[in-house]
Structure 1
Amino acid sequence: MKKMIRYIIFVLLATTIACNKDALNKGPLNLYSDNTIWKDSALISRVVLQAYSSIHSIYDDAGNWMPCDITDEAKDRRSYHAANLINTGQYTSSTGIYNNIWQNTYVNVRGCNTVLSHLDEMPLSDAGKQQIKGEMLFLRALHYLDLYYIFGRFPIVDKVLSLDDELAIARGSDEDCITFMQKDLDDATALLPETYPAASLGRATKYAAIGMKCRLLLNHKDYNGAAAAAKTIIDRDLYHLFPDYEAMFYPENDDNVEVIFNKEFAGDQSGQIHNLDVYDNSRFFTGFGSVIECPTQNLVDQYLLTDGKPWDHSTLYDPAHPYINRDPRFQASIMYDGCTWMNISMDMKLGSAINPSTSSNTPTGYMLRKFLNPNYIFYGNNSNYQNCIMLRLAEIYLNYAECQLKLGNAEEARTYINLLRKRVQMPEVPAGQMDWDTYVRERTVELAFEGQRWNDIRRWGTGATMIGAQITAINIAVNNGARTYTRVSLEQRYFDPKIYYFPIPQTELQKYPAGKVLEQNPGWQ
């Protein structure tokens, strides 16, 4: 464990302290002593801004695999890759797929704890210190939330550890972990501002903390607590549904009125870029073996027809033209045969220029559209690196609706589901017809690919059908000049209840000395 602490200190200096040289008119922070940094307000500002770069978002996973690939939303086309080890039940504690999450969490938590430990000596006003404290508590909670949603209980570290401290810390109880994260979020809420000036967009606000608390409590099935948090945001009326569902994710609409919190790319906070546009567009555009996240027919079938009915109950459904008359969120989220992208008609038939008969094709007949930038430049210097929305008002509406359903208030839930439907001009749920299946479908299509489905499935206990699903695809054929579309089975996914929480990486277990065992998750011993 002493080696691990030295490793953490080294990485902290390399990641939290190293920083964009042009952010302020100062040299690299690693040229300054630790004592100097905490006495210089400009350097402190740089450290705080750089702390945001450590946030883990789904866009950071692009090019590797994204959470949608291990649910019924999508398939990673690469049969040999990490997501498919999970989907086929070949994942173990030694596989190492999530090693970086465990390691990086504690590096990042140490960064937050380091800033908190130096608050008293900072040459800042009390208000400035309190805001920084709020930001670090929020970020610490966010890092732990990331860890918790993957592994469950975790060792709680709330200070900068030295070599004299007990380093082999046991995992906290579930209640202790939840209480710790909730307290950090509550304390952050009391300290953070409601808004920031335009130059500081992307930093944590009071409502970002309340929203993350809402998500935490919902996943813990505290419906009263989650509902109260959601209603606080709703009643403040500071956020509004962005009128264009598809364009909400375009770079020109970064930090729009629906966004409660996002990870900023290519800005002062991180200076980072992501590879989503490169890895999830067709090879026709990128010139190399791209297309990783391939939406499933399972997900496509969740999008209602414009009469508000599912495909197999609607007179609007035409088997020869299965993609017309669909909920507009379908066209905004998924590339399908015959759609237009970057002024090109997307021919999804296997063997076409868009979907070649090589390893760079989509096995499902669909490609990802949500999040992608229609004006992305694939060659040359392109500065369009859109932000990753991590929390938006639509999720708060859905969280509130779920709580109300669980509390027996279906009509209150219906109000907020209908607000989402109204945005995309879909028929409202009629009075008296708001039920659980309607809610699940609405959450599925509204938040498709946004990274919350694994938490949803675990909370709902539907892993057998939504993780261990029979994954279907669309087969496109041409007969006498006419196209036919046939649903086909692609693969049967693996599910065991133990995978609701993934195994603690073997490399982490081995860092604990004899007699100080880090407890493994049930079923993974």
Structure 2
Amino acid sequence: MKNIYIRSIFLFLGLLLSSSCSDYLDKESDTELTLDGVFESKTKTENWLAACYSRIPDPTWGYTRSIGQEILADDMSPSERWRQYDWQVIPFALGDWSVGSPWSPSYWNGLPQRVRECNILIKNIKPIPAQNLTENEVRLMIAECRFLKAYYYSLLINTYGPVPFNPDEITPVDYNLPDLQVGQTPYDEIVKWIDKELREVEQILPASYSDGRKFGRATSIMCKAVRARMLLFAASPLVNGNSEYAGHITKDGKVLFNSTYDANKWKIAADASKDLILNAEAAGHRLYTEMNAAGKIDPFLSCQNLHLIEASKGNGEVLFARVAVESKEYDRHTAPTGAGGAGGYGVTQSLVDAFFTANGLPITDSNSGYVETGFSTQDGYWPNGITKFNEVKSPGLVTLAGTYNMYCNREPRFYLAVNFDGAWYTDGDNAGKDKGRKLEFFNGKKDNNGTHDAPQNGYLARKRTDPTRNPINDYFAPRHGILYRLGEAYLNYAEALNESDPGNAEVLIYINKIRERAGVRPYTTGTTDAQNIHVDNDQASLRKIIRMERRVELCTEGIRYDDLRRWKLAETVLNGPVYGMNFNGKDASEFYKRTAYQTRVYRKSFYWFPIYLAEIEKNRNLIQAPFWDK
């Protein structure tokens, strides 16, 4: 081991740790060290551990620009011409995707490297009493690495399906190439290992840390969250009884996907989500809420700030966060050009249409009160209570007189997710001068300069953006990135329970917890009235409302793409024209028209990322992902 050297690349902490953590793990100078030298120092050992964490995805900028989960789904859409700036997944969404396409996150190569580093730490770490690295701290650091290995494998199988799998291997420096040329392990076998590993590790790790500098490090709650989401995916139609994968086998005839449906997988997923919920709540996690002056939930501030307030400042909804994220770039690209932003990162018309009306009904319901065309004659205020939303202009203001009716009379989450033409906009620059202004998305107006740096579909994303940002003066408030939150766990549980135990009363209970926080009427199996909405208590009806609720509550958070994949709906939903308002319209008569600004292509092969052709050529034991070789 003494002849193996590491460089300072493994000692940088920036990808994981915020400034609040930088004093906990000290940085090292650029030097070469033997492994013995690393693990004889507490500081260097902690630095090695920090590097093990560095492949945790960025759920703000990473999910959008780099990893691309939101671009590949149907919630968000960047300017198509941003592909010239190396937005690699834009061509993927348009069907221009091959086994040779570059993808900068490169999970195939990068995640196994981090698994190897975890294994090296597990094998070499030891207590250093003189430096206060105790037996218990070593035990926890080993458990952290075991968590990371399981988590990284969960990302690998979510991306590629079956992958080569040897979780405890440390490839020697003098390896023989044939030793590395192994094929894939069946999907269900890897799921089983991850499940077992996480259940063991959660018995070791604490639910939280009293030392705030350790925020972001693995906990038992994070183990449960990763496990619950993975098992929900594993129970879903894409990988549970998918007959299209029956012939997907290794070179030696091993079946890589089990094409026989197993109903018990839904029960396993439901149990995992319920276990997560109960333990998270016992550890103090709660749906994030803020109260209004009347002592009731303020849906606007609650749903907005759950993405902005850090766990250390009272946000108990956060289950798993990445400390250092590129929120600045997300805020810049969603800010209008008239305010100094890049101004081309918008949401789709289909997402606009997905939000409920103020009375909690979908716009397709004849009782919703939805009106699509024409313009409002007076300012619109949130009717169901007091809120500080838009207090710079007028508390509770949601639409101004003259707003296109499509945007009027909608639920709070709509106004928190979508910036539309005529919406009242404030940021750090104009709030102190003229108390904000209306957004102007007509072509040639303040926020549409007619270039790729303008909302190509007539909308900009608002959710998860910082209302105090000031792009002109380059001010963006830093924040953590949320990878898992309790609200998702509630909806995961409702879905898995509905599939495994139709009619169970807890399905509606957990959906309604989300709706009540959002300020919309909950569902009931009884009669519709002013406080409740009737829904039939059968599996198909509840499945429909669960999917509608997931689309709205979890939109633009990196989850929608996996939902469409696991439900086997991606090749239907993500094929064809994508609509918005008319980017070229210079007045109301031209702009307010549903216009196809893009045509997307989604083939059966796209459900999984392909294995790079170069990897297949190096290792003939690998099998390309389903349908990519057809």
Same fold (TM over 0.5): yes
Partner SS state of residue 80, structure 2:
coil
Q: Quote the residue 1:426 is aligned against.
A: 520
Q: Quote the residue 2:407 is aligned against.
A: 323
Q: What CA distance in whole angstroms lies between the structure 1 residues aligned with 2:44 and 2:288?
A: 36
Structure 1 residues 136 and 478: alpha-carbon distance in aligned structure 2, compared to 1, 3 A threshold: same
Q: Quote the residue 1:387 is aligned against.
A: 480
Q: CA contact under 8 A between 1:227 and 1:404: conserved in structure 2?
A: yes
Partner SS state of residue 391, structure 1:
strand
> Does residue 18 of structure 1 match 2:8?
no
> Does residue 57 of structure 1 match 2:58?
yes
CA offset digits 1:263-320 (Å, max 9, x no partner) = 0017xxxxx7762222332233336xx2453210011111010112222334532323
Q: List alignment gaps of at least 5 residues for structure 1.
A: 1-5, 267-271
Structure 1 residues 260 and 176: alpha-carbon distance in aligned structure 2, compared to 1, 3 A threshold: same
Q: What CA distance in whole angstroms lies between the structure 2 residues aligned with 1:49 and 1:218?
A: 29
Q: Residue 449 of structure 2 aligns to which amino acid in structure 1?
A: P
Structure 1 residues 258 and 69: alpha-carbon distance in aligned structure 2, compared to 1, 3 A threshold: same
Q: What CA distance in whole angstroms lies between the structure 1 residues aligned with 2:491 and 2:128?
A: 41
Q: CA contact under 8 A between 2:228 and 2:276: conserved in structure 1?
A: no
> Does residue 414 of structure 1 match 2:508?
yes
> Does residue 440 of structure 1 match 2:547?
yes
Residue 198 of structure 2, aligned match among 185, 195, 199: 185
Partner SS state of residue 301, structure 1:
helix
Q: Quote the residue 2:171 is aligned against.
A: 161
Q: Quote the residue 1:73 is aligned against.
A: 75
Structure 1 residues 141 and 65: alpha-carbon distance in aligned structure 2, compared to 1, 3 A threshold: closer
Q: Quote the residue 1:109 is aligned against.
A: 115
Deviation, structure 1 residue 254? 6.4
Deviation, structure 1 residue 27? 3.4
Residue 296 of structure 1, aligned match among 348, 357, 371: 348
Q: Residue 440 of structure 1 aligns to which amino acid in structure 2?
A: R
Residue 94 of structure 1, aligned match among 100, 104, 107: 100
Q: Quote the residue 2:563 is aligned against.
A: 456
Partner SS state of residue 505, structure 2:
helix
Residue 228 of structure 1, aligned match among 267, 271, 276: 271
Q: What CA distance in whole angstroms lies between the structure 2 residues aligned with 1:186 and 1:65?
A: 28
> Does residue 141 of structure 1 match 2:150?
yes
Q: Quote the residue 1:278 is aligned against.
A: 332
Deviation, structure 1 residue 394? 0.5
Deviates further, 359-368 or 178-187: 178-187
CA offset digits 1:155-177 (Å, max 9, x no partner) = 11322211336222321111222
Q: CA contact under 8 A between 1:259 and 1:389: conserved in structure 2?
A: yes
Structure 1 residues 368 and 112: alpha-carbon distance in aligned structure 2, compared to 1, 3 A threshold: same
Q: Residue 227 of structure 2 aligns to which amino acid in structure 1?
A: K
Deviation, structure 1 residue 357? 0.8
Residue 366 of structure 1, aligned match among 459, 479, 485: 459
Partner SS state of residue 320, structure 2:
strand
Q: What CA distance in whole angstroms lies between the structure 1 residues aligned with 2:13 and 2:90?
A: 36
Partner SS state of residue 618, structure 2:
coil
Structure 1 residues 278 and 14: alpha-carbon distance in aligned structure 2, compared to 1, 3 A threshold: farther
Deviation, structure 1 residue 28? 2.6
Q: Residue 595 of structure 2 aligns to which amino acid in structure 1?
A: V
Deviation, structure 1 residue 63? 4.6
Partner SS state of residue 35, structure 1:
helix
Q: Quote the residue 1:175 is aligned against.
A: 188
Q: CA contact under 8 A between 1:63 and 1:279: conserved in structure 2?
A: no
Residue 288 of structure 2, aligned match among 223, 242, 254: 242
Deviation, structure 1 residue 132? 0.8
Q: What CA distance in whole angstroms lies between the structure 2 residues aligned with 1:344 and 1:14?
A: 49
Q: Quote the residue 1:3 is aligned against.
A: none
Q: Quote the residue 1:44 is aligned against.
A: 45
Q: What CA distance in whole angstroms lies between the structure 1 residues aligned with 2:228 and 2:414?
A: 27
Q: Residue 412 of structure 1 aligns to which amino acid in structure 2?
A: E
Structure 1 residues 173 and 24: alpha-carbon distance in aligned structure 2, compared to 1, 3 A threshold: closer
Q: Quote the residue 1:349 is aligned against.
A: 442
Q: Quote the residue 1:261 is aligned against.
A: 320
Q: List alignment gaps of at least 5 residues for structure 2.
A: 15-21, 236-264, 290-301, 375-404, 428-435, 526-534
Deviates further, 202-211 or 34-43: 34-43
Structure 1 residues 94 and 227: alpha-carbon distance in aligned structure 2, compared to 1, 3 A threshold: same
Structure 1 residues 351 and 141: alpha-carbon distance in aligned structure 2, compared to 1, 3 A threshold: farther
Deviation, structure 1 residue 19? 4.1
Partner SS state of residue 520, structure 2:
coil
Deviates further, 249-258 or 358-367: 249-258
Q: What CA distance in whole angstroms lies between the structure 1 residues aligned with 2:121 and 2:30?
A: 14
Q: Residue 618 of structure 2 aligns to which amino acid in structure 1?
A: K
Give the TM-score normalised by the residue count of structure 1.
Answer: 0.89
Q: Residue 276 of structure 2 aligns to which amino acid in structure 1?
A: I
Partner SS state of residue 226, structure 2:
helix
Partner SS state of residue 499, structure 1:
helix
Q: Quote the residue 1:521 is aligned against.
A: 625
Q: Residue 215 of structure 1 aligns to which amino acid in structure 2?
A: R
Q: CA contact under 8 A between 1:135 and 1:204: conserved in structure 2?
A: yes
Structure 1 residues 410 and 464: alpha-carbon distance in aligned structure 2, compared to 1, 3 A threshold: farther
Q: Residue 202 of structure 1 aligns to which amino acid in structure 2?
A: G
Q: What CA distance in whole angstroms lies between the structure 1 residues aligned with 2:26 and 2:600?
A: 53
Q: CA contact under 8 A between 1:29 and 1:43: conserved in structure 2?
A: no
Q: What CA distance in whole angstroms lies between the structure 1 residues aligned with 2:505 and 2:277?
A: 17
> Does residue 490 of structure 1 match 2:597?
yes
Deviation, structure 1 residue 65? 6.5
CA offset digits 1:75-100 (Å, max 9, x no partner) = 23124453332223220011122662
Deviation, structure 1 residue 411? 2.8
Q: Superposition RMSD on alpha carbons, in Å? A: 2.7
Q: CA contact under 8 A between 2:11 and 2:44: conserved in structure 1?
A: no
Structure 1 residues 201 and 245: alpha-carbon distance in aligned structure 2, compared to 1, 3 A threshold: same
Ranked by relative contact order (alpha carbons within 8 Å, sequence separation 6 or more), the top structure is 1
Give the TM-score normalised by the residue count of structure 2.
Answer: 0.74
Q: CA contact under 8 A between 1:52 and 1:263: conserved in structure 2?
A: no
Partner SS state of residue 195, structure 1:
coil
Q: What CA distance in whole angstroms lies between the structure 1 residues aligned with 2:458 and 2:157?
A: 34
Q: What CA distance in whole angstroms lies between the structure 1 residues aligned with 2:329 and 2:591?
A: 34
Structure 1 residues 226 and 126: alpha-carbon distance in aligned structure 2, compared to 1, 3 A threshold: farther
Deviates further, 121-130 or 305-314: 121-130
Structure 1 residues 201 and 22: alpha-carbon distance in aligned structure 2, compared to 1, 3 A threshold: closer
Q: Residue 276 of structure 1 aligns to which amino acid in structure 2?
A: Y
Structure 1 residues 252 and 395: alpha-carbon distance in aligned structure 2, compared to 1, 3 A threshold: closer
Q: Quote the residue 2:392 is aligned against.
A: none
CA offset digits 1:177-202 (Å, max 9, x no partner) = 21222233222212110111223222
Q: What CA distance in whole angstroms lies between the structure 2 residues aligned with 1:363 and 1:156?
A: 43
Deviation, structure 1 residue 355? 2.0
> Does residue 510 of structure 1 match 2:512?
no
Structure 1 residues 252 and 180: alpha-carbon distance in aligned structure 2, compared to 1, 3 A threshold: closer
Q: CA contact under 8 A between 1:251 and 1:384: conserved in structure 2?
A: no
Structure 1 residues 65 and 367: alpha-carbon distance in aligned structure 2, compared to 1, 3 A threshold: farther
